[in-house]
């Protein structure tokens, strides 16, 4: 049961490139050119590098399970829809940029 959840990366031709085990159940996912953004049932928001699947930044706790995630067109913010109906806006750039 340790590897109950996992994230796998495949090429467009179906070649398996990499995978990582996950500690939490993924309920929402959004891709950009560089990152994959995951929302979890255990109230977490993870931003991972798309090529290596490593965490780009530490996980952000949300206190409520995440139901949806989206990245703005300018890639400056992440929109997080929570189970309780709230919409959280998270700055995605460096502190000076946000």
Give me 63's structure tokens: 């206190």
Q: What is the pTM of this model?
A: 0.85
Predicted pLDDT at 92: 76
Predicted pLDDT at 4: 85
- pLDDT at 45 > cutoff 80: yes
**Percent of the chain's residues with pLDDT above 70:** 91
Give me 67's structure tokens: 């139901």
User: What is the pLDDT confidence band of residue 25, given thresholds at 50, 70 and 90?
Assistant: very high
User: In the beta sheet, which residues pair with residue 64?
Assistant: none
Residue 46 CB contacts under 8 Å (≥ 6 apart), including other chains:
37, 38, 39, 40, 55, 59, 60
| Fold for the domain defined by 6-91 | Lipocalin (2.40.128)
């Amino acid at each position: 049961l340790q590897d109950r959840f996992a994230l796998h990366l495949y090429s467009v031709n179906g070649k398996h490139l990499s995978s990582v085990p996950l500690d939490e159940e993924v309920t929402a996912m959004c891709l950009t050119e560089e990152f994959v953004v995951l929302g979890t049932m255990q109230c977490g928001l993870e931003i991972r590098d798309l090529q290596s699947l490593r965490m780009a930044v530490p996980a952000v706790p949300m206190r409520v399970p995440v139901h949806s995630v989206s990245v703005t067109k300018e890639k400056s913010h992440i929109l997080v829809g929570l189970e309780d109906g709230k919409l959280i806006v998270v700055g995605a750039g460096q502190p000076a940029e946000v």
